[in-house]
Structure 1
Amino acid sequence: MKIGDIVARKSYNKDIIFKIVGFSVDEDNHKMAVLKGVAFRIIADAYLDDLEAVKLPDIKNVFIDKNVEGVLSQSLVKARERQKKMMRAVPKLQTNTNVYGMPGKVLQIDGDKEYLKICLDVYTELGIPAVGVAIPEANQYKEVRALLEKHNPDILVITGHDALTSRKGNITDLSNYRNSLNFIKAVKQARKWQPNIDNLVIFAGACQSNYEQIINAGANYASSPGRIMIHALDPVFVVEKIACSRIDIVVPIDEVIDQTVTGIKGVGGLETRGKFRWAMPKSILY
C-alpha cells in the first residue's frame, strides 16, 4: 500500500472508495493508512490488513453516479423553470430581449483540490459564476478574510473533509471531530468581515461535521444534522438554489434540502434570501 492507492475497508463491506493520503501509527506502533473519501467528504484511518485495493473508474463517474446524475439533471431543469417563472412574474421582461440574469457569485474554499475542480465544473454547467481555492482545512480560517476581500462573493463555501472520530464520545465535543473546529473558525472570520447573513451566504462543513456549532458560528447552511456522510457535490446543490433564486425571495429551507443528495440528515440551515438579479441592457455599442 502506498500514497495514492485506491482502496476500500473490508470491515465496512467495502462501502466507500477511499484514496490513501498518508500513513500514521497507533498507540501500539501499528501502521495505519490515512484515508480520504473519493466521492464523500470524509477522512478516516484504517489498519493496512483491513484495506483492499480496488480499481477506480473515471473519477467524475464516481462523483456523478446515477443517483447524483438525477439530482444534477433535476437542478438544471429547475433552474430553467425558475428563470421562466421569474420572467413571467415581471411582464416587461417577457418581451425584452435585452434582459439578462445574474446569479450570485460563489467563492469556494475547499480542503480537497480534486473535489474543488469537479465542483467548479458543475458550477459552470449550472451557469453560476464561481472561483475556487484549495486550502487545507487547518489553514482556511487564516486566509478566508483576504480571499473575501479579493473576490467579494455573494456566497461562500467552506468545506473539505471531516469525520466524527468517536461515535461513543460526546458529539458536542469539538475535539471528537477532525475538522469541525477549523470550519467554525473560518466561518467566524468570514462573519467578522460581513456579519449580515443575507449579504454573505455561507455554507460550511463536510462529512459528519458538527452542524449545530457551525450554524451557531454564523453559517446559513451546514452539515451534518444526522452526523452522516455528505456527497462531495451537496454544497454545490445548496448553492445553486440560493444563487439562482431572486433577491426578493426567502428560499424555503425544505426546497434547498430536497435538492441535495443526502437530504435532511446531511444538510440543514436557516431561511436565506436568494441572490439572483435581473439586469439590462446586455450591451449598447455606439
Structure 2
Amino acid sequence: MITNGDLVTRKSYQHDVLFRVKSAGGPLVKLMGEDIRLEADAPIDDLRQVTGAEYRQRKAETDKKEAYSYRLFRQDYRLLKEKRESGAGSGYTKENETNYFQIPPRILHIDGDPLFLKKCIYLYEQLGLQVHGQYLHEREMPEQVLGLIEKVQPEIVVLTGHDSYSKAKGSVRDLEAYRHSRYFVEAVRNIRQRYPHFDQMVIFAGACQSHFESLIKAGANFASSPARVNIHAVDPVYVAARVAYTSFMDHLNIWEVIRNTISGQEGLGGIETRGLLRIGMPYSKEAEELS
C-alpha cells in the first residue's frame, strides 16, 4: 500500500530516481525527487517501495557526491583567495593578510520545496554566506518575487524548486510541455524589467529538465537544464556561491562555475557574469560585522 511520504522508484524508468510520495489520493501518484529537483506523476502499479537498506545505500552514494562537490568548492575558494592576495599591487601580502575584510553579496533563495530549502540554507551557512530563504510554490514566484527583493535587497536571486518535461505535452522547444518552467521564466522576466543590469542582480533559475533557453532569454545569468537532465538539490547553491566569492573585478569563467556542481554542464549553463565579492581595509571588529 503506497501512502504519502513513502519512498519509491518507478519500474518504467528502471528505478533510476528515488522519489518521495507527495500525494497518493488519485489515479496518478504525485512524486517529488528525494535528492533531485524533479516532480513527476506515475500510476500506482508503476511504483516500487524502497526498503530501508536500499535507502541507506542510495543515501550513502548521494552523500558521497555532495561531500566531493563541497570539497572541490572549498579548493576553488582557497584558490580565489590566493589570487586576490597575490595580485600585483593588491597590498594583500603576508604582512597584512589578516588586515582586510570581505563583503560577500546577499542572496535571496526562493525554493518550491521546503525540505530542499532547509538543506540549501544549511549549505549556504557552511559556506559563510548571507542568505534569506523563502518557500513559495513555483506558480507564486512571478507575483511575489519583486516584493521579496525589495524586502531583502539581494545581489543574487535563486529561483528553483521542481520541474519536469513531458514529451506527451509537446516538443522540448514548447514551454507548455514543462511543469513549472513558465513560472520561472515569468519570474525572471519580472526581475529583469525592474533590475536590467546583469552584473548588479545575478539570477539563477530552474530545476530538473527546465527550459534552459527560455530562462536565459528571459534574463537569467545561470539556468538549468541545457540537456534536459535532472539537477541535484544543492547545485543552485554552488553556482550562487561561486558568484558570491569571485571579486567584482573579475568575470567568471562559465566552465569554472559549473564544473564542481553535481550535475555539470548537461544540467547547468549560463552567460559571462562579473563576480560580486568586495574587499575592504583595514580589518576591525566593526568591519567584521559587515561581512
- TM-score scaled by length of structure 2: 0.90
1:190 Cα deviation from its structure 2 partner: 1.2
Instruction: Please give the residue correspondences for 1:73-84 in structure 2 after superposition, counting only pairs within 5 Å.
Output: 73-84=71-82
The 8 Å contact of residues 244 and 275 in structure 1, kept in 2 or not, is answered as yes
Unpaired runs of at least 5, structure 2 = 287-291
Report the more deviating stretch, 266-275 or 91-100: 91-100
Note the alpha carbon deviations across 1:14-51, whole angstroms, 9 max, x for none.
111101112465xxxxx110001011100001111111
Instruction: Please give the residue correspondences for 1:29-178 in structure 2 after superposition, counting only pairs within 5 Å.
Output: 31-55=27-51, 57=55, 61=59, 64-89=62-87, 90-94=89-93, 95-96=95-96, 97-166=98-167, 169-178=170-179
The 8 Å contact of residues 32 and 48 in structure 1, kept in 2 or not, is answered as yes
Q: What is the CA–CA distance in structure 2 between the aligned matches of 1:68 and 1:284, rounded to whole Å?
A: 34
Report the more deviating stretch, 40-49 or 185-194: 185-194
- Output the aligned Cα RMSD: 2.0
1:264 and 2:265 aligned: yes
Gap change, CA 1:112 and 1:63, over 3 Å in 2: farther
Q: What is the CA–CA distance in structure 2 between the aligned matches of 1:47 and 1:64, rounded to whole Å?
A: 26
The 8 Å contact of residues 84 and 90 in structure 2, kept in 1 or not, is answered as no
Gap change, CA 1:174 and 1:91, over 3 Å in 2: closer
Equivalent residue number for residue 216 of structure 2:
215
1:67 Cα deviation from its structure 2 partner: 2.1
1:64 Cα deviation from its structure 2 partner: 4.5
Note the alpha carbon deviations across 1:97-151, whole angstroms, 9 max, x for none.
3311122221100000100111111111111211110100000111100110011
Note the alpha carbon deviations across 1:150-180, whole angstroms, 9 max, x for none.
1111110000000001168311111100000
Q: What is the CA–CA distance in structure 2 between the aligned matches of 1:209 and 1:91, rounded to whole Å?
A: 41
| Matched letter for residue 256 of structure 1 | V
- TM-score scaled by length of structure 1: 0.92
Equivalent residue number for residue 187 of structure 2:
186
Gap change, CA 1:63 and 1:190, over 3 Å in 2: farther
Gap change, CA 1:70 and 1:215, over 3 Å in 2: same
Note the alpha carbon deviations across 1:170-213, whole angstroms, 9 max, x for none.
11111100000000011011112211010000000000000000
| Matched letter for residue 34 of structure 1 | K
Equivalent residue number for residue 202 of structure 1:
203
Q: What is the CA–CA distance in structure 2 between the aligned matches of 1:91 and 1:152, rounded to whole Å?
A: 29
Note the alpha carbon deviations across 1:52-89, whole angstroms, 9 max, x for none.
1114657x946952222111111012112211221121
SS of match in other structure, 1:107: strand
Moved over 4 A (4+): 60-64
SS of match in other structure, 1:162: coil
Equivalent residue number for residue 244 of structure 1:
245
Q: What is the CA–CA distance in structure 2 between the aligned matches of 1:83 and 1:181, rounded to whole Å?
A: 38
Q: How many residues align?
A: 280
SS of match in other structure, 2:262: coil
Q: What is the CA–CA distance in structure 1 between the aligned matches of 2:86 and 2:34, rounded to whole Å?
A: 42
Q: What is the CA–CA distance in structure 1 between the aligned matches of 2:86 and 2:125, rounded to whole Å?
A: 25
Unpaired runs of at least 5, structure 1 = 26-30
